[in-house]
Amino acid sequence: MAETSAAGPAFGHAIDLDALPGYCIRRLNQIAVAIFLQETEPQAITPVQYGCLQAVANTPGMDQRTLARTIGIDTSTIGGVVDRLEARGLLERKPRPDDRRVRLLSITSEGLKLLRAVRPGMLRAQQRMLDPLTPHQREQFMQMLRAIIVENNAASRAPNEG
């Protein structure tokens, strides 16, 4: 008689990974990142870097902690992302006049130029991700996705403000 592991069918039943929302969401994230990188390859930017640049462009002068909360990235990770964007000349950090420990972020002219260049590819990526769905399904999917995010935001290691 062959032995089976505690996690295998002898444990009770096989688990269909495709029926698990967490597994599907992780796979969808992998696909979304791959599509984004394909569409924005000439600009050499990651989805997280894009989110940082766009958030700072939307709200110039925000500090790093606020940026992390805005895009839902933990504060230890955001520092490295901002370091890389600053090294590329896309973001600037300046001390806040009333508290020199706080660094205020602003997008540089090169950063704005990159955002303009990346926009068509970013928009194509969004479209490609939703292409398998009908227009009505896309609307429903986005509503459901936002509902899941909003209701589970507090459970995140890096909850966002929005």
pLDDT tens sequence for the chain (162 residues): 444 555 556 667 899 999 999 999 999 999 999 999 999 999 999 999 999 999 999 999 999 999 999 999 998 899 999 999 999 999 999 988 898 888 899 999 999 999 999 999 999 999 999 999 999 999 999 999 999 999 999 998 888 875
Domain 44-150: give its CATH architecture. Answer: Orthogonal Bundle (1.10)
Helix (H) / strand (E) containing 152:
helix 135-152
CA distance 34 to 46: 10
Whole-number pLDDT of residue 157: 84
Angle between helices 47-58 and 21-39 (to 10 degrees): 80
Whole-number pLDDT of residue 61: 95
Whole-number pLDDT of residue 160: 83
> Global pTM?
0.86
CA distance 72 to 161: 8
- Give the type of residue at 32: A
